[in-house]
A = this chain, B = another copy of it.
Amino acid sequence: MPDQISEKTIARLCLYKRILGELEVSGVETIYSHELASRAGLTAAQLRRDIMAVGYFGSPTKGYEIAGLQHSIRVFLEGKNTGTSAVVGVGNIGRAILAYMGLETSSVHITACFDQDPAKIGSVIYGCRCYSLDELSYRCNQYNIQSAILAVPAGVAQLVAEKLVSCNIRGIMNFAPIQLQVPENVFVENINLAVTLEKVHYFARK
């Protein structure tokens, strides 16, 4: 079943989990599907299909129990072997990403960061120990690193991505402004916030 789940469904489930976490903190115990859908900016029908896919069923009178639904989504997304993530490249952008990620609540733990600069290796940057890229394979094993946030300069990004793949990393959040060439079984999400701002700004001026 999970193999048939689309990227968009997974993205929505991650979003529900986050909204449910906030509701729980504010003391809410149950929520109706249409209310949760509205908070996520989606239709209730869409949300119900997604929740059914994780095998959770709410009560027609009380709606979803927040703790139970959160648990079901978490088990569905994380499985048993959760693994961790790492930031690769701790220049100014990598540091900004580490700062940002350290502030956000996420089920994915960032356990290490990597760089080539001897001045950074061994230091702790926003709570993450920095290791040499030469140690990548060893540390991936040690920390069970399964995904990476790539924040190296464009000129070396392809080379470093290949190194990540050779260490069995199968998911890359790519901040480098190039299109990575990776095997089909590696999932890449390109992030470019400056380009996104240009798009938002374009529509602001229409």
Give chain B nearest CB distance to A110 CB in angstroms. 8
- In chain A, positions 17-46 with a C-beta closer than 8 Å to chain B are 17-19, 22, 38-41
Interface size of A by Cβ–Cβ distance < 8 Å?
A: 65
Q: Give the interface centre of A2, A15, A100, A108 by most chain B CB atoms within 10 Å.
A: A100
Contact with B along A2-26 (1 / 0, CB 8 A): 1100010011001101110010000
- Nearest B residue to A175 by beta-carbon distance? B100
- In chain A, positions 157-188 with a C-beta closer than 8 Å to chain B are 169-173, 177-179, 187
Other-chain contact of A106, B22, B77, B191, B198 (Cβ < 8 Å): B198
Which segment of A56-64, A78-86, A128-136 sits at the interface? A78-86
CB distance B179 to A41 under 8 Å?
yes
A93 interfacial contact with B, CB 8 Å: yes
CB distance A196 to B170 under 8 Å?
no
- Chain B positions within 8 Å of A7 at CB level: 199, 203
CA distance A95 to B68 in the complex (A): 35
Other-chain contact of A146, B11, B189, B204 (Cβ < 8 Å): B204
CA distance A92 to B77 in the complex (A): 28
CB distance B15 to A203 under 8 Å?
no
CB distance B39 to A178 under 8 Å?
yes
Give chain B nearest CB distance to A192 CB in angstroms. 7
CB distance B104 to A194 under 8 Å?
yes
CA distance A40 to B11 in the complex (A): 23
